[in-house]
């Protein structure tokens, strides 16, 4: 059963064309010319309850706009979003306040906490804003304090917190009302390795124990590899890929690399940058090793036999393409377009 249903979602930003020159601001105001930017162009997908979905794409692909449409901050130009709430289906921008009760949102770039007040006061304000009954508040906060280790800084004003502490505070704030649906927009941006790990295991734990559905945008693919079984990849406001993480790699990187280093006391097998062994062609790496790209369906055996007839292999590694390599290639093709 799907919790989020997105159909042909489109958002075109229409902004008055900036007029430069004398009285630019006033002329802009009365200008009838507009700049149109198609940020989201007919996106469709659905998310089932309990899933963690990685929503990926390069900068400017339309990720944040989609999140804003899903959370009810913006109205789309066309298309629909339906969120299944406990009181029936909701359209985020039309039932904004009702929808807001059922979602938690964390922006890595911007805190939702009260800057000048101690962290705990932010929690109490959220308790009031979401009408959380006192008993449930005490129970939830107790659990979050323990899971996120909030006790050491819960009485510190938010402006004095480190980025990692602030992010832990933001995660707690987004989950105090126990939303069934959580949007995380770059939750690990700018964090150190340990803090990233804290965030990841907390997100995993939340999904596992509470069944919270999570939509995650990030540029750190380690987040995705650790958390998401499913990826939606978008670019230019369109869905490029929607499916499992493994499927993405298999589809866009049907090769693995075999890196061969020969014993140095033999002559070079080739003077040029390429070396042909039967049907396989290797490229020379900067450090002198040879790199073969072998299609996944061919066994490596054929290559190894071919090499060992004439050459002594000193070292051999097989590099499976990871998500990063795939994404890099996809983004690279995009720039080439």
Q: Minimum Å distance from CB 227 to other proteins?
A: 13
Pure H helices in the chain? 24-30, 63-71, 96-101, 119-129, 134-148, 163-175, 193-210, 221-227, 245-252, 301-308, 323-336
- Between residues 216 and 303, which has the closer beta carbon with respect to other proteins? 216
Q: Minimum Å distance from CB 188 to other proteins?
A: 20
Q: Minimum Å distance from CB 199 to other proteins?
A: 19
Angle at 96 between CA 90 and CA 102, to 5 degrees: 65
Q: Minimum Å distance from CB 74 to other proteins?
A: 5
d(CA 135, CA 114) in angstroms, rounded, equals: 23
d(CA 161, CA 152) in angstroms, rounded, equals: 11
Backbone angles phi, psi at 181, to 5 degrees: -135, 130
Q: Minimum Å distance from CB 258 to other proteins?
A: 37
Q: Minimum Å distance from CB 107 to other proteins?
A: 8
- Between residues 38 and 250, which has the closer beta carbon with respect to other proteins? 38
Inter-residue contact 263 to 314 (CB < 8 Å): yes
- Between residues 116 and 263, which has the closer beta carbon with respect to other proteins? 116
- Contacting positions for other proteins (CB under 8 A): 1, 3, 11, 13-16, 25, 29, 37, 39, 48-50, 60, 62, 64-65, 68, 71-75, 84, 86-87, 96-98, 100-103, 105, 110, 112, 114-117, 121, 125, 128-131, 133, 136, 157, 178, 180, 207-213
- Between residues 114 and 252, which has the closer beta carbon with respect to other proteins? 114
Inter-residue contact 62 to 40 (CB < 8 Å): yes
Angle at 207 between CA 204 and CA 213, to 5 degrees: 130
Write b or e for each residue in 255-282: b if 16 or more Cβ atoms lie within 10 A of its Cβ, otherwise e.
ebbbbbebeeeeeebeeeeebebeebeb
- Between residues 157 and 164, which has the closer beta carbon with respect to other proteins? 157
Q: Minimum Å distance from CB 243 to other proteins?
A: 19
- Between residues 11 and 230, which has the closer beta carbon with respect to other proteins? 11
- Between residues 22 and 273, which has the closer beta carbon with respect to other proteins? 22
Q: Minimum Å distance from CB 49 to other proteins?
A: 4
The two three-digit tokens of residue 255, written as one number: 């090769």
- Between residues 130 and 331, which has the closer beta carbon with respect to other proteins? 130
Number of H helices, E strands in the chain: 11, 15
Run of H or E residues at 4: strand 2-16
Burial class (CB in 10 A: 0-12, 13-18, 19+), 104: buried
């Amino acid at each position: 059963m799907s919790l989020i249903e997105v159909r042909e979602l489109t958002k075109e930003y229409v902004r008055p064309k900036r007029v430069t020159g004398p009285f630019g601001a006033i002329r802009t105001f009365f200008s009838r010319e507009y700049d149109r930017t198609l940020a989201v162009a007919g996106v469709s997908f659905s998310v089932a309850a309990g899933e963690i979905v990685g929503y990926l794409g390069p900068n400017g692909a339309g990720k944040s706009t989609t999140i804003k449409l899903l959370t009810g901050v913006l109205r789309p130009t066309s298309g629909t979003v339906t969120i299944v709430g406990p009181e029936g289906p909701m359209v985020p921008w039309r039932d904004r306040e009702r929808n807001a009760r059922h979602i938690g949102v964390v922006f890595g770039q911007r805190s939702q906490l009260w800057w000048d007040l101690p962290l705990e006061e932010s929690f109490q304000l959220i308790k009031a804003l979401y009408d959380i009954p006192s008993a449930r508040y005490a129970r939830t906060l107790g659990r979050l304090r323990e899971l996120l280790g909030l006790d050491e800084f819960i009485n510190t004003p938010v402006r004095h917190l480190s980025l990692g502490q602030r992010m832990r505070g933001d995660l707690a704030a987004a989950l105090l009302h126990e939303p069934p649906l959580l949007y995380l927009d770059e939750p690990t941006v700018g964090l150190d390795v340990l803090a990233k790990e804290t965030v990841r295991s907390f997100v995993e734990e939340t999904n596992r124990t509470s069944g919270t559905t999570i939509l995650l945008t990030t540029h750190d693919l380690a987040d995705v590899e650790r958390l998401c079984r499913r990826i939606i990849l978008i670019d230019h406001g369109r869905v490029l890929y929607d499916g499992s993480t493994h499927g993405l790699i298999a589809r866009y990187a049907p090769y693995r690399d075999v890196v061969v280093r020969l014993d140095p006391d033999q002559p070079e097998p080739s003077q040029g940058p390429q070396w042909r062994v039967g049907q396989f062609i290797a490229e020379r790496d900067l450090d002198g090793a040879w790199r073969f790209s072998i299609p996944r369906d061919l066994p490596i055996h054929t290559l190894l036999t071919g090499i060992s007839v004439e050459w002594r292999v000193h070292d051999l590694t097989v590099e499976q393409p990871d998500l990063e390599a795939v994404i890099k290639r996809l983004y690279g093709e995009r720039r080439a377009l």
